[in-house]
Amino acid sequence: MSVKTIATQPFQDQKPGTSGLRKKVKVFEKPNYLENFVQAIFDTQQEPREAPLVVGGDGRYYNRQAIQIILRIAAANGCARVVLGQGGILSTPAASHLIRINQARGGIILSASHNPGGPDEDFGIKFNTPNGGPAPEKVTEAIYAATLNISRYLTLDTPDIDLDRLGTTKVGDMPVEIVDPVSAYADLMEQLFDFNQIRILFQSGFRMRFDAMHAVTGPYAREILEKRLGAPAGTVINGIPLEDFGHGHPDPNLVYAKELADYLFGPDAPDFGAASDGDGDRNMVLGRHFFVTPSDSLAVILANANLAPGYRNRVSGVARSMPTSQAADRVAARLGLPCYETPTGWKFFGNLLDAGKITLCGEESFGTGSDHVREKDGVWAVLFWLNILAARRQSVAEIVREHRSVYGRNYYTRHDYEAVDSAAANGLIDALRAKTATLPGQKLGSYTVAYADDFRYLDPIDDSVSDQQGIRIGFQDGSRIVYRLSGTGTEGATLRVYIEAYEADPARHNLDTQQALAELIQIANNLAGIRERTGRNEPTVIT
């Protein structure tokens, strides 16, 4: 095996965001762009040396080309072995599981998640550490530093390998084991949930639709729902992963998964609907004529965890990202469990999960998960709901309404302003930050500010500090407004505004969310001067 050393120059823009490095495909196709980043991973992440590296992606455009490049660089850098999903496919949670069961040195996951795919759209790459989770900030910072100093990368002069044939092949001297992307993951799901009970539910005529949005979860959902659980063929729609996601935006929310939402709110609605995103880590769940917000979903799962065999009597605690609603906090308080608040991004749950401090965790952005892997997991969340539905034999709406009657309702919405001018967005956040000191005690409309700050996280396990994680404005009645800028976009800036209010009175639990929050929304817009600073009158997406 003769290793080639190729001279290269640093790129200045390879700092990973909320979840890996995401750029337009055209940027990744620039000579040496992907190569530099991958070499920086090998220059900084070498342990454990003899362990394999897991590689796979969501199947989007450029996935296959990128994998061939990564395999050659891995072999040239002395990587002992690669475990690769067949066809280059691995959902993000399945990759996390493979890293864990293979005691791997980590994994390289190729995805820009819910961002569109295709030659003019987005691509992404991220490194996961040996615990199976997205690299924590100290690791991504080391990789970024290496990209700024790089002067060479190592590769081989070998032909492309066949990514579709199961079994072991070689790149140079390095064995590449091509595995079925679904089976190990499906086996894990079977250990966690009561598949018999769910099978009986489907036999009773229960109807569901799963929209894979032409992204990676199609093969997983078909195997698990239609084969192992006996749901009728056709339960999974848009089930074949396409390089451009069928020109869609593989983001499971009410705007981008409109086809599914329309069906669930239509005259022939089934009992249950669900969708997942590009790389399979997000989930949206719907009942007949009923949408479950991700924040409520986490709270309901926590309250019903004892119904799932894999979680019975073993939930140690829960965590949610800071902007996620406080619905789960109320359940945790009643169950006597600790509840942690972390910055946005799954990497911040890793230490708490590894230390056994939490069993379940979630984000408002359609992310829910547990200690079974170290990523959020879309299909897992859908199966958790199916397990709850099979055990309780009530509708989704009944379950959520009952939950609210016990715990109260956290009205919650997120307003996204996509692709706004970066300077304007930064100016807006800077101005808010400057205001925080003077806000406490001020009356805004009928609300009085209790606290205002820029969220700072002190990791309770390794004492690392993450600053400037979002502007929080808390009111005396527990309502909140949060502002932050997205760290996953590839065009301009995306401003996210999160608004929440608590309502204890069941007589007031059936209001329209935007109406229930109307005054707070107005306050949020005025306080930040959104219209003046961004020129936008309306959010791009309301969730």
Residues belonging to the active site: 113
Burial class (CB in 10 A: 0-12, 13-18, 19+), 80: middle
363 binds, among Co ion, ligand VG1, none (CB under 5 to 8 A by kind): ligand VG1
Q: How far is the CB of 475 from ligand VG1 (least distance, A)?
A: 23
User: Omega of the bond prior to 48 within 30 degrees of 0, cis?
Assistant: yes
Three state DSSP letters for 186-225: HHHHHHHCCHHHHHHHHHCCCCEEEECCCCCHHHHHHHHH
Of residues 273-332, which lie at the interface with ligand VG1 (CB under 6 A)? 277, 281-282, 321
- Per-residue interface string for the shown chain with ligand VG1, residues 375-414, x marking contact by CB under 6 A: ----------------------------------------
Tell me the Cα Rg of the chain.
23
The structure tokens listed for 114 are 């819910």
Q: Which stretch binds Co ion (CB under 5 A): 80-88, 282-290, 473-481, 501-509?
A: 282-290
Q: Which 81-120 residues touch Co ion, going by CB under 5 A?
A: 113
Q: What are phi and psi of 508, to 5 degrees?
A: -110, 25
- Name 452's bridge partners: 473
CA angle 501, 522, 325 (to 5 degrees): 25
If one asks whether residue 113 binds ligand VG1 (CB under 6 A), the answer comes out as yes
Please, what is the minimum distance in Å from the beta carbon of residue 111 to ligand VG1?
A: 7
Q: Which listed residue (19, 238, 370, 490) binds ligand VG1 by CB under 6 A?
A: 19
Candidate list 310, 367, 474, 539; residue touching ligand VG1; CB under 6 A: 367
Told to check if 469 binds ligand VG1 by CB under 6 A, we report no
374 binds ligand VG1 (CB under 6 A): no
Tell me which stretch binds ligand VG1 (CB under 6 A): 8-16, 95-103, 362-370, 498-506: 362-370
- End-to-end CA separation in angstroms for the chain: 53
Scanning residues 329 to 348, which ones bind ligand VG1 (CB under 6 A)? 344-346
Nearer to ligand VG1, 72 or 374 (CB): 374
Q: How many residues bind Co ion (CB under 5 A)?
A: 5
Partner from Co ion, ligand VG1, none binding residue 367, C-beta < 5-8 Å depending on class:
ligand VG1
The residue of the chain with the least Cβ separation from ligand VG1 equals 113
* Stretch in the footprint of Co ion (CB under 5 A) among 164-172, 239-247, 269-277, 316-324: 269-277
Structure token pair of residue 23:
């750029």
Q: For the CB of residue 520, give the shortest distance to ligand VG1 in the complex, in Å.
A: 20
For residue 188, give both structure tokens: 């894990």
Beta strands in 424-512 (DSSP E): 443-444, 447-454, 457-458, 465-466, 471-475, 480-485, 493-503
Place of tokens 């308080």: 333
Q: Is the Cβ of residue 35 or residue 58 nearer to Co ion in the bound state?
A: 58
Please tell me the number of Cα atoms within 13 Å of 508 on its side-chain side. 12
The residues in 157-176 that bind ligand VG1, with binding defined as CB under 6 A, are none
Please, which residues have CB within 8 angstroms of residue 463's CB and are 6 or more apart in sequence?
A: none
> Cα–Cα distances in Å, from 178 out to 218, 375, 510?
19, 22, 51
CA distances from 114 to 215, 221, 502, 523 (A): 9, 18, 30, 30
CB distance 472 to 482 below 8 Å: yes
Minimal distance in Å, beta carbon 251 to ligand VG1?
Answer: 8
What residues have CB less than 8 Å from 267, skipping those under 6 apart?
Answer: none
Dihedral sign from CA coordinates of 539, 486, 89, 273: negative
Q: Which does 346 bind (CB under 5 to 8 A by kind): ligand VG1, Co ion, none?
A: ligand VG1
DSSP string computed for 222-269: IIIIIIIS-PPTTSEES-S--TTGGG-----STTTTHHHHHHHTSTT-
Residues 472 to 501 in contact with ligand VG1, rule: CB under 6 A:
486-488, 496
Which partner in Co ion, ligand VG1, none is near 280 (CB below 5 to 8 A by kind)?
Answer: none
**Residue with smallest beta-carbon separation from Co ion:** 113
Residue 375 interacts with Co ion (CB under 5 A)?
no
Q: Which is nearer to ligand VG1, 27 or 541 (CB)?
A: 541
Return the number of the residue (137 or 519) whose C-beta is nearest ligand VG1: 137
Select from 43, 223, 279, 500 the one that contacts Co ion (CB under 5 A): 279
Nearer to ligand VG1, 64 or 414 (CB): 414
Q: How far apart, in whole angstroms, are the C-alpha atoms of residue 156 and residue 70?
A: 11
Pick the stretch among 76-84, 279-287, 298-306, 393-401 that binds Co ion (CB under 5 A): 279-287
Nearest approach in angstroms of CB 196 to Co ion is: 30
**Residue 432: in which H helix or E strand, if any?**
helix 422-435
- Of residues 286, 294, 268, 307, the one with CA closest to residue 390: 307
- At its nearest, how many Å lie between Co ion and the CB of residue 17? 13
29-48: which residues touch ligand VG1 (CB under 6 A)? none
Binding site for ligand VG1 (CB under 6 A): 18-19, 113-114, 277, 281-282, 321, 344-346, 363, 365, 367, 486-488, 496
Binding site for Co ion (CB under 5 A): 113, 277, 279, 281-282
